[in-house]
Structure 1
Amino acid sequence: MGIRSFGDKVFDGVNYGIVTLFAIACLFPFFYVAAFSITPYSEYLANPLKLIPYHIELAAYKQILQMPLMWTGYKNTLIITIVGVVLNISLLLISAYPLSKTDLKGRNTIMVLITFTMFFNGGLIPNFYLIKSLHLYNTLWAMILPGVLGAYNLILMKNFVSAIPASLEESAFIDGANEIKVLYKIIVPLSKPAIATFVIFHAVTQWNTFFSAIIYTSKRGLWPLMLILREMVVDDGGVAKDAMDMNNSGITVFTIKMAIIIFATLPILLVYPFMQKYFMKGVLVGSIKG
């Protein structure tokens, strides 16, 4: 690299400063909630913007760990997320691979129909009647199947698979491999960056789902974790009040709310570090190739 001018260094410094401020702005709400989930309420009232508590109080977490509804929500969310991700990745692969073939008959028509679904759909009421007619109402499948395969992600995966050299597949066919073996022995290993990216996308979407649960369930035992959070806020802390120990004056609805938010969001945040090395490569290659 050549010698960088003073203007280049200033430009880089300004960019780093803007990115740093943006990162702080994004992280501040999370640190705020985390800090006050372990802060005694009296200390919070004395200084509502203080992020480092003098005293640490874990009573709110102890209370929510004893709350059966939280564990039911966790179980439902884990099932929805894990099953949804497995189905999503499986359908993406078996759909994108044939669509990446230029000699596939009707390929352009299929792609037009897939793209059409990105802009038009039946709407909420037809979808509700579809779920009812398939006897999926009040089941976890109603929160898994409707969004299991998205047109946008399918197009990105198709573009990614199309970028894999055709010579690799031809060599495998010469060695006697069939289409299924090529898919799982060549396409899947080479598509790990894209797969990791879509795992993150779909896992976050499924983990945060709550609207479909509102529409397709009427049983509290089927609530996902995020619907419990929503009800806690909309009901002015009704769920949080259920978790409170009335004999512990240090626990308030506010503290319970902060603890539940951390309890619900922390697991999905921990997924990112393990997927980070694949994330950017998967997004960029899938979006500009093909």
Structure 2
Amino acid sequence: MFESRGEKAFVTAITVILILLSIIALIPLLSVISISFSSKSAVDMNLVTIWPKQFTLDSWGHMIDRPDLWKSFFLTLGSTVIGTVLALLMTALLAYPLSKVEFRWGGVIMVGVVIAMIFKAPIVPYFLTVRGIGLYNNPLVLVVPHILNPFNLIIMRSFFKQFSKELEEAAFLEGCGYFRMLFQFVLPLSKAVLATLALFYGVVLWNQFQHPLFFLQNPDWFPLQIKIRQFITDDNVIMAGAASQADLNYNERTLRAATVIFAIVPIIMVYPFLQKYFVKGAMIGSVKG
């Protein structure tokens, strides 16, 4: 399609601006990565910018050998995977009937969903409620409060509204019930929205900080983000197990940088595989009403 000179200039300007913003956003990340691979002396003298100085893997070697870090990592990984699967299941089971006009109470329930999305529960009543159902100092608190999100429910409901009524009616005439229709026909054709919401839920579960901070007191149940907080705020914790020699090639700053990168790498690795579904699912779920 032919573009005018003004349109080409606009696209070029937007492209340049986005590239500059991307570079600005990457600089802090590159700085942390560089510090994690730099020597203690280079970091102490503030020689590290966006490229490692006196490259070394000593910081990574120390952190990777720590069993408490791996325990928190696998706890977070398990809660993220299990929580995402349960969240997608619960969201689909509620969104599918809400997408049907014939569902009598759908309008009332949707009003409640919108209210829950707009008005968040006050912290104190929320804390007392979660503690009252037995989730205080319980690792299930990493999963249960996150298995249904009103915003994600609305996206999936809107997505389900696009399905052909003729296809569903034909399936019902063949003896297909609602559950079979959902699991054998609807969900297999909903990869876009499922991938999008899996990313939404997964990021929240992986990065959760407030829930474990409020509800978990046992260090054995600390997820990765709380463990990172310990490393950042307590030098004794992050240097635990380190040799006492004065010629160590790492310090608190390099170890913290390595830990931060260690925590974000899994999400960065997963995102490219879901990106092709992400925009499609989000657009369809938000535009279709």
Q: Is TM-score (shorter-chain normalized) higher than 0.5?
A: yes
Partner of 1:283: 282
Question: What is the aligned partner in structure 2 of residue 162 from structure 1?
Answer: 161
Matched, 1:209 2:208: yes
Q: How does 1:175-190 map to 2 (within 5 A)?
A: 175-190=174-189
Shift of 1:137: 1.4
Q: 2:114: which partner in 1?
A: 115
Q: Which amino acid aligns with 1:21?
A: L
- SS of residue in 2 equivalent to 1:92: helix
Find the residue that maps to 1:271 and give its secondary structure: helix
1:98 equivalent to 2:106? Answer no
Give the residue type in structure 2 aligned to 1:159.
Answer: S
The 5 A counterparts of 1:48-59 are 48-59=47-58
How big is the alpha-carbon RMSD for the aligned residues of Structure 1 and Structure 2?
Answer: 1.6
Distance 1:70 1:149 in 2: 29
Paired residue for 1:79? Answer: 78
Letter of the 1:211 partner, please give it: Q
TM-aligned CA deviation for residue 88 of structure 1: 0.5
Which deviates more, 191-200 or 136-145? 136-145
Q: CA deviation at 1:238?
A: 3.9
Retained in 2: the 8 A contact 1:96–1:157?
yes
Residues in 1 aligned to 2:85 and 2:46: alpha-carbon distance in whole angstroms: 46
Letter paired with 1:43: A
Q: Show CA shifts across 1:179-201 (max 9, x none).
A: 11110111101211000001101
Aligned partner of 1:33 in structure 2 is 32
- Which consecutive residues of structure 2, in runs of 5 or more, have no partner in the other structure? none
Cα distance between partner residues in 2 of 1:255 and 1:243: 15
Aligned length: 288
Report SS of the residue matched to 1:242. coil
Amino acid at match of 2:222: W
Counterparts of 2:237 and 2:285, CA distance in 1: 42
Q: Does 1:264 align with 2:274?
A: no
Q: Does 1:133 align with 2:132?
A: yes
Instruction: Report how far residue 69 of structure 1 moved.
Output: 1.5
Aligned to 1:240: 238
CA distance in 2, matches of 1:218, 1:165: 50
CA distance in structure 2 between the aligned counterparts of 1:158 and 1:147, rounded to whole angstroms: 18
Question: What do residues 39-91 of structure 1 show as CA deviations (whole Å, max 9, x unaligned)?
Answer: 11223345535322353211111111121210111121012101110110000
Letter in 2 for 1:107: G
Cα distance in structure 2, aligned partners of 1:149 and 1:245: 46
One-letter amino acid of the counterpart of residue 244, structure 1? A
The separation in 1 between residues aligned to 2:207 and 2:236, in whole angstroms, is: 20
- For normalisation by structure 1, the TM-score amounts to 0.94
Instruction: Work out the CA distance in 2 between the residues paired with 1:144 and 1:48.
Output: 42
Measure the CA separation in 1 of the matches of 2:120 and 2:25.
33
Structure 2 length-normalised TM: 0.94
Q: Distance in 1 between matches of 2:110 and 2:158?
A: 12
Instruction: Give 1:174's aligned amino acid.
Output: L
Which amino acid counterpart does residue 243 of structure 2 have in structure 1? D
Structure 1 residues 31 and 257: alpha-carbon distance in aligned structure 2, compared to 1, 3 A threshold: same
Q: Which stretch shows the higher mean deviation, 45-54 or 214-223?
A: 45-54
What is the rounded CA distance, in whole Å, between the counterparts of 1:122 and 1:19 in structure 2? 37
Quick check: 1:63–1:245 contact (8 Å CA) kept in 2?
A: no
Gaps of at least 5 residues in structure 1 are none
Q: Is the 8 A contact 2:30 2:51 kept in 1?
A: no
